Structure 1
Amino acid sequence: MKRLGLLAIALALVAGSVVAASAATEVKMTGDAFVYGTFNANQNFTGWSTGSWNNNSGSYTPAGTQTEDRFQIWERFRLRSDFVANEAVKFRLGIKIQDTWGHGTFTAANPEVAIQVYQAYLQFKLPGCAAEVTAGLQDLSLPENAFFTDSVVFGGDRAAALVINAPLIDNTLAVTAGFARMLDRNRTYDTTTTQVADELDAYFLALPITLDGFKATPWGAVAVAGRDANYFTAGSYGPNSSFADSLLSAGTFMAPSGFRNAQNAYWWAGGTFEVTALDPVKLYADVIYGAGNKNDRKKNSREGWFIDAGAEYTGFDVVTPQVFAWWSTGEDKSTRNGSERMPSILSNWGPGNSFLFDCSQDLVKQGNMGVNPIGSMGLGASLNNISFIEKLSNRLTFVYLRGNNSAKAIRYLNTYMGSNPYFTMGRDLTDNEYIVSANFDTTYQIYENLAAVMETGWAHGEFQSSVWGHRLAEKSREGDAWKVAFGLTYKF
């Protein structure tokens, strides 16, 4: 009885300390939810599946093995809870549920409930200064103008990272520095007593500069890529894509395949620029150069440029006209000398909510064609923030793009591997191929936090039978790609 009494006292003391801690901690909750139906016709320009990697050994399923289901209803709920100790310290936990009606969580009988943690980080200010530290699973982006949604190198997704933000000159100059571990295949122990390089780590530094009428952010990043990391089974440009597509060269798949070195370096250097001194005319631009695997076999190297520019006029009350363009280096005729496309990690880039790119869609799942902006060039125009009726806004965007990749290089790999996920018809374009697209999007603000959203998209592409094969290219000519999505979004 004495032991039970001591145990009861100990439990009471623990409970009391928890209550006291809870009383000293403020919990703030925010979140969002959407429910919408989406109709997609001729996804991937064929209505068939793209190629997909099956495992980290590089085996894959070729394109055109599955057919589309044109109508689905998606639901997503996200809850972010901030546990605020004081103005200097907090912890964020973000969870989400996302699936289609009739599947997984939203199955009528015996649902498979799947709750994901998508944010989990500690954030605090260093004592005696304004520097802020964020450590944990967090939203992470390399610098890019918001005009183009997010970074073409890594943007709009979560990563386990340590990031420090600190002002150097008040309202003029700041510094952002960080480290992120993107991949770690074996975690604590490798599978045998032989150690392997199975991580992908990234280090980055940015110096945001703000002057009257002008902003610029020079930045750089370095990634250390281990030979045995899970490049084939993680990451996303769009459906069925991976880090292998965005980091590796086509030559990596040719004999002898894979890296020669246990670890290789990738690096990027760039700058973002925004000019508002000419207001109501605003100008935007990004310049990026990236390279990787330069000390490995020559066929494994990858390097290239990416440049974008945009302008908008904000002097009208009822519409904001925008124009934009981009250019990126593409593959030359040989795979033996490596890739001439800029490497990336995970892209989230696209102007004007374009149907072609994984960018700023409110109705995100099945919301775009997953076209790769790297290795292409294009131009477009958008009428943004069209508003003639209170609470109703629209956006109309046109885009034309053409590939910068040699048809010979893509054809050579497709002949060597067959229909493969590395080069995908409609995502990676040759210099003889083009896509035209339009999207018209509407938002009606029913209440302050509740909106009805409709997004529509159309795309037409011309693709070479000699590169992709007669079956896929001919299927793409049977009809254009279409999207109509309508639903409700709630933010709190």
Structure 2
Amino acid sequence: MKKHLVLLMAAGLALAPLRAESVEFKVKGQWIVNFDYGNYGKFANSPRATNKAPNPSPYTGYNGGATNTADEFGTNQRVRLQLQAIASEYLSGTVWFEIGDQQWGNAMDRPGGTNAYGGALGADGNAVEVKNAYLDWTLPNTPLKVRMGIQEITLPNFVAKTSNIFQDDVPGIVASYKVNEHADVTGFWFRFYNDNYPGSLAGQPRTSANYMDNMDAAGLLVPLSFDGLKITPWFMHASIGPNVMNPRVNKAYSSWNSVPSNTSDQMGNGITSVYTGMLPAVWATKQGHSDRLTEYGNAFWGAVTGEYTGSDPFRLAWDFTYGSVAYEHAQLNRSGWEGFLLGEYKLDWGIPGIYAWYSSGDTGDIKNGSQRMPTIRSTTGNQLSKFASNGSIISRKNAVTAVWTGTWGFGARLKDISFLEDLTHTIRINHFRGTNDPVMAKYFLGKKNASGNYVTTRVGTDFNAGVEGIYLTTKDSATEFSLVNEWQIYKNLTMNLEAHYVLLNLDTSSSVWGRGAVAGGGWVGKPNLRDAWQCNLAFYYNF
């Protein structure tokens, strides 16, 4: 009976009318194998970055961004595979799979982790993940194009080719409409976080899980293109649920330096960037805020970016951005601006260029919030800096900062120098200086409390001076030297040999970062800083 039933069903399906159209499948991808050798990645010569003081001592010293626990030599790899299902020029679906980053010899994703990388003896890891998955379609009989799903987004930037505000993968919808040959209009909506809040923690008023924990952003871009001139004004607004910031803000702590054990990332990948980019640096790191957020925060960014190539081979590019975020407690607010300017001239043998930037910095009063521009997350892509910032793909990066807020500086580069076929070189020199008031160092060091008063006693703490990177005051600076050699071995295979060196110059006097007794007497220790450097050999296979 069952056999006859199956045959009848098969026959019915065969006779049923089917509307199937042919679909073309395309596969693209990239393999990267990277060999990295370097040291003092956070300008410290040991996991505890300091000269040791006489015992007993409450001080552990300056730590430039994070503990330096990486090996001098490391090897890792990454594979990305893109599969496209193309029904027509008006409809397609795309999925990106990523394997890695896999560190050779590393079996776990983190100490004590359960998700094996598969980079150790025996391999067999489960490091495969979905990077992107989106649908592209065009509204019939219109020039309106829509992309919906998890996709990589980079807000417009013509100088660094990456955005300090936001560049990463995010679920959302992007719709583009071509007005005419000179103008397009693009609107978008992204959902960064939702339904990740685990519920109220001990010591908090009772709050249900997944309550007011969404973070959404919407915006508009208007790319304008004329003969030799491109201009893209854009703006974006973000709404931030109070429980997105849990537990960094929404919990009172017993002391200015206390850091509870439950501050792990409960909200998912990238939330640390939101904490540090959308809150004043001191409040995001010192855990000293005692007022619980109960209302949505509102963030806004506006920018004008563009480039002029009408006087070829000369190129001029610029990016000017203002951003602000406001919460119900004014001391958590953050607002500021930044500007980048680049000029370069294309020659037969290379492209020399100079550039400069300025970004507003914090004043010495933490009660009125931060004067640095808020940022969400910026990943790989910066073309101005490979090691000091986030220009590298899977090798060491962000030695100074992932974003450039609170700094100003200038740089020069010779790009794409070529005297032999298939071999190019790029030389960069960057000089960073801070725009933050030196008084802010007192808060990071615990010499001033949440009320802005000097303290007479304290319990020392390991502390990272600026979790977005090195927090540079107006008395601090850093200089980066960089050489990148690129050999096109085959059409699809490239080898990069790079060398980078960053010199950090902090003001170690007692008025800024230098250590000293709070109430007089005691000892004075100096930060035990080292210059950061790395050499990198990478192979890229693109198909």
Report the TM-score, using the length of structure 1 for normalisation: 0.87
Letter in 1 for 2:44: T
**Change in 2 beyond 3 A, CA 1:102/1:336:** same
Tell me, yes or no, if the aligned pair for 1:439 and 1:456 is still in contact at 8 Å: yes
Which of the pair is proportionally richer in helix?
1
The 1-side partners of 2:86 and 2:352 are apart by 42
Q: 1:331 to 1:9 in 2, by over 3 A?
A: farther
The whole-number CA distance in structure 1 between the counterparts of 2:68 and 2:491 is 42
Q: What secondary structure, in the 3-state scheme, does the structure 1 residue paired with 2:146 have?
A: strand
1:220 counterpart residue number: 235
Partner of 1:299: 331
Alignment partner, residue 99 of structure 2: 97
Are 2:222 and 1:203 equivalent residues in the alignment? no
Separation (CA, whole Å) in 2 of partners of 1:270 and 1:401: 23
- On the 8 A contact 1:125/1:132 being kept in 2, the answer is yes
Question: Structure 2: how far apart are the matches of 1:379 and 1:438?
Answer: 13
CA deviations over 1:277-336 (Å, ceiling 9, x no partner):
22211101111110111x52111111001111001101x111100100000000101100
Q: Quick one: percent identity of the two aligned structures?
A: 26
CA gap of 1:370–1:13, structure 2 versus 1, over 3 A, is farther
Tell me the CA shift for residue 378 of structure 1.
0.5
Q: Pick from 476, 501, 523 the counterpart of residue 433 of structure 1.
A: 476
Matched, 1:264 2:326: no
State whether structure 2 residue 169 is matched by structure 1 residue 139: no
Report deviation, 1:256.
4.3
Q: SS at 1:5's partner residue?
A: helix
TM-score, normalization: structure 2?
0.79
Aligned to 1:153: 165
Q: 1:111 aligns with which of 124, 127, 133?
A: 124
1:485 matched to 2:536: yes
Specify whether residues 413 and 326 from structure 1 end up closer, same or farther in structure 2 by C-alpha distance, changes over 3 A only: same
Secondary structure at the aligned position of 2:4 is classed as helix
Aligned to 2:258: none
Which among 430, 435, 438 is matched to residue 404 of structure 1? 435
Deviation at 1:25, TM superposition (A): 1.3
Give distance in 2, aligned partners of 1:230 and 1:274.
Answer: 37
Counterparts in 2 of 1:11 and 1:485: CA distance versus 1, 3 Å: farther
Unmatched segments (≥5 aa) in structure 1:
52-61
Tell me, yes or no, if structure 1 residue 378 matches structure 2 residue 414.
no
The verdict on how the C-alpha distance between 1:102 and 1:12 changes in structure 2, with shifts beyond 3 A counting, is farther
Give the counterpart letter for 2:421 in structure 1: E
Q: 2:274 aligns with which of 229, 239, 243?
A: 243
**How far is 1:187 from its partner?**
8.0
Q: Deviations over 1:418-467 (max 9, x none)?
A: 44457249622111100011110011001100011112110000124455
Report what 2:419 is aligned to: 388
Seen in structure 2, the aligned counterparts of structure 1 residues 480 and 193 have a Cα distance that, compared at 3 Å, is: closer
Asked if 2 retains the 8 angstrom alpha-carbon contact of 1:399 and 1:437, the reply is yes
2:22 paired residue number? 24
- Indicate how the Cα distance of structure 1 residues 87 and 49 shifts in structure 2: closer, same or farther if over 3 A, else same: farther
* Alignment partners' CA distance in 2, 1:254 and 1:443: 45
With over 3 angstroms needed to count, the CA separation of the structure-2 counterparts of 1:285 and 1:13, relative to structure 1, is farther
Q: Which residue of 2 aligns with 1:43?
A: 41
Does 2:148 match 1:175?
Answer: no
Deviations 1:155-198 (A, max 9, x none): 2x2110100011111x2000110000011243899996577210
Are 1:281 and 2:314 counterparts?
A: yes
Shift in Å, 1:364: 2.7
Q: Determine if the alignment matches structure 1 residue 454 to structure 2 residue 491.
A: no
Q: Take 1:136 and 1:37, find their aligned partners in 2: how far apart are those partners?
A: 34
2:395 to 356, 359, 365: 365
CA distance in 2, matches of 1:383, 1:368: 22
CA distance in 1, matches of 2:425, 2:15: 55
Whether the 8 Å contact between 2:499 and 2:534 is mirrored in structure 1 is yes
Matched position secondary structure for 1:105 = coil
CA positional deviation for 1:86: 1.3
- Distance in 2 (alpha carbons) for counterparts of 1:473 and 1:491: 48
C-alpha deviation, 1:129, in angstroms: 1.2
Q: Give the whole-Å Cα distance in 1 for the aligned partners of 2:495 and 2:15.
A: 47
Whole-angstrom CA distance in 2 between matches of 1:425 and 1:207: 30
Q: Classify 1:75/1:279 alpha carbon distance in 2 versus 1 (closer, same or farther; 3 Å).
A: same
Larger radius of gyration: 2
Unaligned residue ranges in structure 2 (runs of 5+): 50-62, 107-116, 201-205, 249-264, 450-459, 516-523
- Deviation (angstroms), 1:64: 6.3
2:387 match: 355
Q: What's 1:55 paired with? A: none
Provide the C-alpha distance between the structure 2 equivalents of 1:403 and 1:15, rounded to a whole number of angstroms: 72
Q: Distance in 2 between matches of 1:83 and 1:425?
A: 39
Mapped to 2, the partners of 1:401 and 1:439 lie a distance apart of 14
- 1-side partners of 2:84 and 2:138: how far apart? 15
- For residues 160 and 14 of structure 1, do their structure 2 counterparts lie closer, same or farther at Cα, with a shift above 3 Å needed? farther
How far apart, in 1, do the equivalents of 2:232 and 2:421 lie? 37
Question: Residues 198 and 209 of structure 2 are in contact (CA less than 8 Å); yes or no, is this contact kept in structure 1?
Answer: no
Counterparts in 2 of 1:12 and 1:205: CA distance versus 1, 3 Å: farther
Q: Is the 8 A contact 1:251 1:336 kept in 2?
A: no
Deviation at 1:113, TM superposition (A): 2.2
- Alpha-carbon spacing, 1:380–1:64, altered in 2? closer, same or farther (3 Å): closer
Rounded to whole Å, the distance in 2 between the matches of 1:308 and 1:472 is 38
For residues 65 and 13 of structure 1, do their structure 2 counterparts lie closer, same or farther at Cα, with a shift above 3 Å needed?
A: farther
Distance, in Å, in 2 between the alignment partners of 1:81 and 1:260 is: 43
Is residue 184–residue 200 contact of structure 1 (8 Å, CA) maintained in 2?
Answer: yes
1:463 aligns to 2:506 (yes or no): yes
Trace 1:414-429 onto structure 2 (pairs within 5 A): 414-415=445-446, 416=449, 418-421=461-464, 423-424=466-467, 427-429=470-472
Q: 1:9 & 1:376 partners in 2: Cα distance?
A: 74
Change (3 A) 1:193 1:251: closer
> 2: CA distance between counterparts of 1:119 and 1:14?
34
What residue number does 1:58 align with? none
Secondary structure of the residue that 2:405 maps to in structure 1?
coil
Q: For residues 172 and 162 of structure 1, what CA distance do their matches in structure 2 show?
A: 24
Are 1:6 and 2:5 counterparts? yes
Q: 1:346 to 1:110 in 2, by over 3 A?
A: closer
Instruction: Give the match for residue 135 of structure 2.
Output: 122
